[in-house]
Chain A
Amino acid sequence: MTEPFEPRIIAFICNWCTYTAADNAGVGRMEQPPNVDIIRVMCSGRIEPAFILKAFALGADGVIVSGCHPPGDCHYSNGNFKTFRRMPLLEQLLAQFGIEKERFHWGWISGAEAVRWAQLTHEFTERIRALGPLNWSRQLESKEE
């Protein structure tokens, strides 16, 4: 029971920018916390809000969404527009579900910003560590009280 809390973080990142940054961060031997599990998708516009909800429901303590900088970096020209239209609404939704806004980060990291990716994973992991576990599955366990 006294094992220290290790945050479980799921990062949905786009193939063309943020994944390249993460890859470069690895190739460049930048130190990154092992808490972040990356799920590579072709475009941040492909990331359905359902993915993020499912990540939280299945035990993620934090979720990262990252794609190409708008307006011009998107490989598909405007996939990231879909992202920045959806994510603010998802933020409101998560707040109504009682999930702290610090547990969800969305933004942009280009292929040239490997250092920024490494920084983000560090900062985000520590932020989640400070918040503690989310443990969403506990929600349905208590029947009455």
Chain B
Amino acid sequence: MAGNGKLKLGLYWAASCGGCEIAVVELREKILLLDEAAEILFWPVAMDFKVKDVEAMPDGHLDVCLFNGAIRTSENEHMAHLLRRKSKVLVAFGSCAYEGCIPGLANFFEKSSILRRVYLEVPTVENPEGIIPQPVTPVPEGEIEIPHFYNTVKTLGQVTDVDYFVPGCPPQPHQIWAVVEAILSGQLPPKGSVVGATEKTVCDECQRIREEKRIKKFYRYHEIIPDPERCLLEQGIICAGLATRGGCGALCPTVNQPCRGCYGPPPNVVDQGAALLSAVASVVDADTEEEAARIVGEILDPAGTLYRFGLPASTLHRARM
């Protein structure tokens, strides 16, 4: 705690979209309560701090650091180690830091093909000289260094020791507030726990009517107007709810969108994609091998669908290089 009794808080983003930062702001008026209780010492997205301010802190100076974003570059990793050292409690905040999330889908590719695509092939890019960023570039004034771009996206927990994990893309504000309250009250669960979520699945929170799952055909979202009352999976839309931790309040199914799995695997499930594969395929309505192969064969991009949010944290971590 600071001299004024306030909690010393840091917030940082690595490879992320900024949605987790918005989610913190979405605490709305409660952010004033947060400000009353906590002194924010580092939050680059919202306030003017520099890395050197963090470097100047004694080790363990921050009581809590909410770290969002995956580890994509050497800078992300450097900041992960730095903030680990400076924080008593390091929280992997949001799906990217927890399990890799959307940036982690890059693990289906390798560095060279990603850079080629982004800097040379994208139709809106004009790069006649074919310049691809290099870690070190000589210029008349000397050398410019930029962070190294890693081949593999990693989670925060894969590069440093993490105390708590908050799932969600982004974490829902009411869950963030529950975590903040837990921190302020000092009533924290055992180290390594997933906080700001439930111990059940999204299906447990979903109000849709479930009858019987027998899938004759899988549909992509734009191919069908789903019945607003009935379970989406029963209608042939791949809904990740049954392999996803609850806590969001079944936000997506409530508005007629399938759960995409952003809260990560439920407790005791190691590999969310494999669990979802198992559940989805076993209710395919096919009594012959040929028919089963045909129906599941129509699923486009199964790996990207099943591992949309958790590829770096999954059993295989990435596609083969």
Binding partners A and B: yes
Whether the pair A85, B321 counts as a contact (CB closer than 8 A) is no
The CA-CA distance from A88 to B299 in the complex, in Å, is 11
Take A50-B275, A144-B151 as given contacts and tell me if A88 and B321 are in contact as well, using a CB distance cutoff of 8 Å. Answer: no
Q: Which of A45, A71, A97, A140 contacts B287 (CB 8 A)?
A: A71
Produce 1/0 per residue, B184-213, CB < 8 A to A.
000000000000000000000000000000
| Interface 9-mer from B49-57, B83-91, B220-228, B277-285 | B277-285
Asked if A86 is at the interface of the complex by the 8 Å CB criterion, the answer is yes
**Min CB–CB distance B178 → chain A (angstroms):** 30
Take A84-B292, A85-B282, A143-B152 as given contacts and tell me if A90 and B277 are in contact as well, using a CB distance cutoff of 8 Å. Answer: yes
Whether the pair A86, B152 counts as a contact (CB closer than 8 A) is no
Asked if B8 is at the interface of the complex by the 8 Å CB criterion, the answer is no
The CA-CA distance from A87 to B216 in the complex, in Å, is 17
Q: In the assembled complex, which residues on chain B have CB atoms less than 8 Å from the CB atom of A144?
A: 74, 111, 148-151
Q: In the assembled complex, which residues on chain B have CB atoms less than 8 Å from the CB atom of A50?
A: 270-271, 274-275, 278, 315
Q: In the assembled complex, which residues on chain B have CB atoms less than 8 Å from the CB atom of A142?
A: 151-152, 321
The CA-CA distance from A82 to B286 in the complex, in Å, is 10
Take A50-B278, A85-B284 as given contacts and tell me if A96 and B303 are in contact as well, using a CB distance cutoff of 8 Å. Answer: yes
Asked if B245 is at the interface of the complex by the 8 Å CB criterion, the answer is no
**Total B residues in contact with A, Cβ cutoff 8 Å:** 44
Asked if B302 is at the interface of the complex by the 8 Å CB criterion, the answer is yes
Kindly identify, within residues 82 to 108 of chain A, every residue whose CB is under 8 Å from any CB belonging to chain B: 82, 84-86, 88-90, 92-93, 96-99
Whether the pair A93, B302 counts as a contact (CB closer than 8 A) is yes
Q: Which of A56, A88, A99, A143 contacts B292 (CB 8 A)?
A: A88
Whether the pair B319, A53 counts as a contact (CB closer than 8 A) is no
Produce 1/0 per residue, B277-317, CB < 8 A to A.
11011111011110011001101011110100000001111
Take A96-B302, A140-B317 as given contacts and tell me if A89 and B296 are in contact as well, using a CB distance cutoff of 8 Å. Answer: yes
Whether the pair A89, B281 counts as a contact (CB closer than 8 A) is yes
Q: In the assembled complex, which residues on chain B have CB atoms less than 8 Å from the CB atom of A143?
A: 150-152
Q: In the assembled complex, which residues on chain A have CB atoms less than 8 Å from the CB atom of B270?
A: 50, 54
Whether the pair A139, B281 counts as a contact (CB closer than 8 A) is no
Produce 1/0 per residue, A132-145, CB < 8 A to B.
00001001101111
Whether the pair B303, A93 counts as a contact (CB closer than 8 A) is yes
Whether the pair A85, B292 counts as a contact (CB closer than 8 A) is yes
Q: Which of B111, B282, B304, B320 contacts A139 (CB 8 A)?
A: B320
